[in-house]
Amino acid sequence: MHTISMATGNGNHEAQQTEENFEQFYETWKKQQNQHLQELITASEQVSSPTPPTEGITACSSSSPPPPTDGITATNLNNLVKRVVEHYEEYYKTKSEWADKNILQILSPPWTSSLEDAFLWIGGWRPTMAIHLLYSKSSLQFESKFNDWMQGKLTKHDLGDLTESQISLIDELQKNTIIEEKEITGKMAKQQEKAAGADMVELSHLVSEALREEEKGTKARDHEAEQSQAESSLSPKEKGFKKILEKADNLRLRTLKSIIDALSATQAVHFLIAAAELHLRLHEWGKARDEGQLSGGAGHPIFRQEA
Amino acid sequence: MAGMRCGVNIGGETETAKPVEPSSQSARRRRMEIHQFRFVASDVAVAPSQVENGRKRQKVEVVGPASPSRMCDNAVDQNSKEDDLDESKVAGNKEMKCLQSAGPANSVSSSSSTSTVEQAAAGLPAEAPKFGMTSVCGRRRDMEDAVAIHPCFSQGNSATPSNLHFYGVYDGHGCSHVATKCKERMHEIVKDELENGDCSWREMLTRSFSRMDKEISDWCSAVGVSTSPCRCELRTPQCDAVGSTAVVAVVTPDKIIVSNCGDSRAVLCRNGSAIPLSVDHKPDRPDELERIQEAGGRVIYWDGARVLGVLAMSRAIGDNYLKPYVISEPEVTIIDRSGEDECLILATDGLWDVVSNDTACGVARMCLQSGKPPSPVRSPGSDATLNSAGESSDKACSDASILLTKLALARHSTDNVSVVVVDLRRDL
């Protein structure tokens, strides 16, 4: 598993062709993400070069963060971040391939929990959520840093150190992401309205008529013709969904990469940790809730470890 | 209507300045939620200014509509000779011109000569005022804040020629176009009123706000002319339900004049104390409640006190549909500058809902102090990032505005956050 995650995108891609469906790929990917999480945690612990108090907390120009000194080199850190981002790229590449085969399943993934489904936006996470994730993690690290700083302690370089230029980059990114997100939401609305387009209404009526005539015994149904008519009405709609999913996934990946680009390697490590932790735990909690619901509702063991 | 009680506490007793604290239940709730974050700035950095209390009597005027007006020229140094010797010297004896002034905090006192030399050596234009500004969308999906900063925006009128600086913070509601218009126009209107009129600060600013408000409603009624890409698309009913707060500070060599409408706020940091220069216009502020009710309006508690159950502030630019209950008439505060002034903070409620005046002043003060020219802590590598040494003083203000913004976000501010920090120190 480790070797897979270390491999290049191409190498992985070949490996995935052996997966029988996207769900299997997702399960493998999730395990790899968990391994990356461990690596990221280790790396964040090794980066221990403290930033001077005022510099760390108030640095606002585009000063490059202090290079990590102890334990891990800047190159290693950059490589790790690169590798984890490539892992996300690989996810969306494979997802796109499976979307070609079964867009409906990808839009309503059976492998996610009801909890995750509630947060779903066009077959995945809402792009602006990534910015909120950054703000939240940054806020938490800022809090503890702030207290340390007030007590004159040195603090580690992390997301609490967002500089003026970083904040304006993120703010700009947020505005653009919201605009794109709204555009895609609008496209999705149009697409969903097509469910009740004239072609669909006509076809559903014709088939219902045929059904009634068959029940009366006046006329036999032509199942094949119905099938092909339904197919010709539905298949362009599936293509439409596929296009929208592509746009949504593209925005998700671009948002993620833009955030990483705006951050120092050390900060990126902290962001990727937060992203992986949130994804993995949300999935786990959701699964536990679903299982709890199935086995009679109350008292579901939310924090139960997965077997 | 009888203006506001002159309830602004000056001289360090900022903790009694209750009316300024956000009083809505939600704000209170939010403050409770953030208890786990223990802020210690006030203990560490904000020294109580007992000395100041005992020694000095600062003059602050909060001028309501019924207060006697003051002429601009009268307003200069009438009561402040004892407190502000340096400044009155500057204003009275030297002809203040933009070029002579090293920023808004310029002083011709002897203590400033060294820094003047330093700034000159760094190639800093002598008139550049020091300020920092941060304005972010934060956790909202719409950006409705706007900020306008215009150093040396006016030389005053012929009666009182001096170098004036303009700082305005606007927090829109309903849509962003009123705040945007304020950002584009307010300083021009104020400049026009200032240079072509001969009236008191209060009258001048009240007229400016009224003109601004009228421009907004004229502009809105001319629907279709503009192709502004805003959310409301300027359709009349929606357009009438759009407005903005406005807190405007004009900084002169010897005074700070703050004009406020709504719940954005200006706070002066003087010798470690926070002195509010505006009092939020909340519908449940007793005098505002009375004014609204006298005008035939009602304040309904619906997620906090709201005019007609809609708007959570009692004054604003715009908001045609809530007139005459919601008015655009500002409250004007005039305060003499003092050698102990450190900075002026203007911000929207995105900051003030989660950060107290004292905390904000403590943070800003720390940044300004740590940003002093012989910087105590600065890593060797970072020098390169100060493109010109001249920006290092601006950097302190930027640090302060960034830090306050980050603090607001860390304290779960759910609104847009806009912060302006103006360095008022004279002894740099």
Check residue A220 and give its pLDDT. 85
Q: What is the pLDDT of residue A46?
A: 86
Beta-bridge partners for B265: B347
Helix (H) / strand (E) element for B147: namely strand B145-154
Residue of B nearest to A130 (CA): B139
CB contact under 8 A, A64 and B381: yes
Dist. CA B57–CA B81, nearest whole Å: 11
Structure tokens, B228: 């502004």
Residues facing B345 on adjacent strands: B267, B421
- What length does chain B have? 428
Tell me the C-alpha distance between A108 and A92, whole Å: 16
Q: Name the one residue in this structure whose structure tokens are 């021009």.
A: B188
Shortest distance, CA A227 to any CA of chain B (angstroms): 44
- Please, are residues B347 and B420 in contact by the beta-carbon 8 Å criterion? yes
Of all residues in chain B, the one with the smallest CA distance to A128 is: B141
Task: Give the per-residue pLDDT at B144.
Answer: 95
State which residue of chain A sits closest to B404, comparing Cα positions.
Answer: A58
Chain A closest-CA separation from residue B401 CA (Å): 9
- Sorted by sequence, the CB contacts under 8 Å of residue A172 that are 6+ apart come out as none
pLDDT, residue B91, reads 30
Enumerate the H helices of A102-222 as residue ranges. Answer: 103-107, 114-118, 127-150, 164-193, 198-216
pLDDT at B231: 65
pLDDT tens, chain B, 428 aa long: 333 333 333 333 333 333 444 444 454 444 433 333 333 333 333 333 333 333 434 444 444 333 333 333 333 333 333 333 333 333 333 333 333 333 333 332 333 233 333 333 333 334 546 899 999 999 999 999 999 999 989 988 777 678 899 999 999 999 899 999 999 999 999 999 998 887 899 999 999 999 999 999 888 777 654 555 566 665 555 677 899 999 999 999 989 999 999 999 999 999 999 999 999 999 999 999 999 999 999 999 988 999 999 999 999 999 999 999 999 999 999 999 999 999 999 999 999 999 999 999 999 998 888 754 433 333 333 333 333 333 334 788 999 999 999 999 999 999 999 999 999 987 65
* Interface probe with A: pick from B46, B355, B385, B419, most Cβ of A within 10 Å: B385
Residue A49's pLDDT is what?
54
Q: How far is CA B100 from CA A176, B175, B382, B423, in A?
A: 43, 41, 31, 17
Q: Are B301 and B283 in contact (CB under 8 A)?
A: no
Residue ranges of chain A whose pLDDT lies below 50: 1-16, 51-64, 68, 297-307
Which residue type is seen at B251?
V
Residues of A in contact with B139 (CB under 8 A): 132, 135
Is B67 in a helix, a strand, or coil?
A: coil
- Under a CB-based contact definition with an 8 Å cutoff, are residues A155 and A65 in contact? no
Q: What is the pLDDT of residue B155?
A: 86
- Taking contacts as CB-CB distances below 8 angstroms, the residues of chain B near A151 are 40
In the Cβ-directed half-sphere of B277, how many Cα atoms lie within 13 Å?
Answer: 31
| Interchain proximity A63–B376, CB inside 8 Å | no
The domains found in chain B, sorted by start residue, are 131-221+239-279+332-372+393-423 (3.60.40.10)
What is the ipTM metric for this complex? 0.80
Is the minimum CB–CB distance between B6 and chain A shorter than 8 Å? no
Contact status of B370 with chain A (Cβ, < 8 Å): yes
Structural tokens at position A299: 């008292």
Mark yes or no for CB contact B381/A140 under 8 Å. no
Report CB contact under 8 Å: B382, A59.
Answer: yes
Nearest to A7 by CA among A26, A35, A27: A35
Query: Inter-chain contact A139–B410, Cβ cutoff 8 Å?
Result: yes
Question: Which candidate, B421, B407, B284, places its Cα nearest to that of B350?
Answer: B407
Other beta carbons within 10 angstroms of residue A10's beta carbon come to 9
**CB atoms A60 and B143 under 8 Å:** no
In three-state secondary structure terms, B316 is coil
Note whether B392 contacts A: Cβ–Cβ < 8 A: no
Distance from C-alpha of B379 to C-alpha of B373, rounded to nearest angstrom:
14
Q: Do residues B348 and B169 make contact, with C-beta atoms less than 8 angstroms apart?
A: yes
Name the phi and psi angles at A253, rounded to 5: -65, -40
- DSSP assignment of B233-295 equals TT-HHHHHT-EE-EEEEEE-SSEEEEEEESS-EEEEEETTEEEES-----TTSHHHHHHHHHT
Quick: pLDDT tens for B200-248.
999 999 999 999 999 998 887 776 545 555 666 655 556 778 999 999 9
CB contact at 8 A, A271 and A133? yes
What is the C-alpha separation between B82 and B101, in angstroms, rounded?
22
Residue A216 neighbours by CB under 8 Å, 6+ apart: none
Among residues B74, B77, B70, B328, which one has the least CA distance to residue B204?
B70
Cβ contacts below 8 Å, chain A against chain B, sum to 89
A143·B138 Cβ contact <8 A: no
Point out which residues pair with B62 in neighbouring strands: B333
